[in-house]
Amino acid sequence: MYERVPIESRACHPTSRMEPVISTDEQSDEQSDWSLFPSWLSTDDAQRWLQLLEHNIAWEQPLVQVFGKYHRVPRKTVFVAEQGLQYRYSGAIHVGDGWPEWFLPLLEQVNHSAWSEFNGCLLNLYRDGDDRMGWHADDETEIDQTKPIASLSLGSTRDFLFRHRSDPTKRAAIPLADGDLLIMHPGCQGLWMHSVPQRRKVKTMRINLTFRHFLKA
């Protein structure tokens, strides 16, 4: 069973350095590995960014090989990053073309709130509840594990599941809503796996942006 993480509805100014909705003292040991900022973006700003990303990103649906057969990943995706930055995922090496100018205000807001300087972002577009993300951890060697990872949700609410890597009975479920920002702290990827499961009752789109700090070759 998954522990439902309590969420207090609270609007947060996107350019301020914020405290998580649940303080560290109130969190369980598991929850201290991440922090949730509900309504980090206002409804209007979240919808504006959703529309910009939907229509201005060259979305892809790459093929992956599973047990010798090729399948399309069950979502659309794209890698946006500093010029020349490389990241291997879905069986291919993706190279950053530089940040689009119109994207920079959002990047700066996320950097400010996460106390970080992210140099790459993986975007996933879930067309409806059939699109999903399987269990994984963002622990690739290209990613700096001493830095946080920031995950911004836009559009439909989807469950974000955590499962402890050494004790699978430790689990948590966080319903990530439009404008929510989740910060996974350094060390989280070594302890927890996460997923976005299929939810067939969801009929509308969600876009997720996962900001990371990549090591440069």
Q: Which residue has the higher pLDDT, 18 or 125?
A: 125
Cα–Cα distance measured from residue 131 to residue 215, given in angstroms and rounded to the nearest whole number:
30
Fill in the amino acid letter for 51: Q
Domain range annotation of the chain: 19-212
Q: Half-sphere exposure (CA, 13 Å, Cβ side) for 57?
A: 25
Q: Residue range 156-183: average pLDDT? A: 97
CA 74-80-82 angle, 5° bins: 155
Per residue in 101-133, pLDDT (tens digit) is 999 999 999 999 999 999 999 999 999 999 999
Q: Which residue has the higher pLDDT, 12 or 196?
A: 196
Asked if 64 contacts 136 with a C-beta cutoff of 8 angstroms, the reply is no
Q: What is the pLDDT of residue 62?
A: 78
Q: What is the pLDDT of residue 32?
A: 86
pLDDT at position 141 over 80? yes
pTM reported for the whole predicted model: 0.86
Fold (topology level) of 19-212: Jelly Rolls (2.60.120)
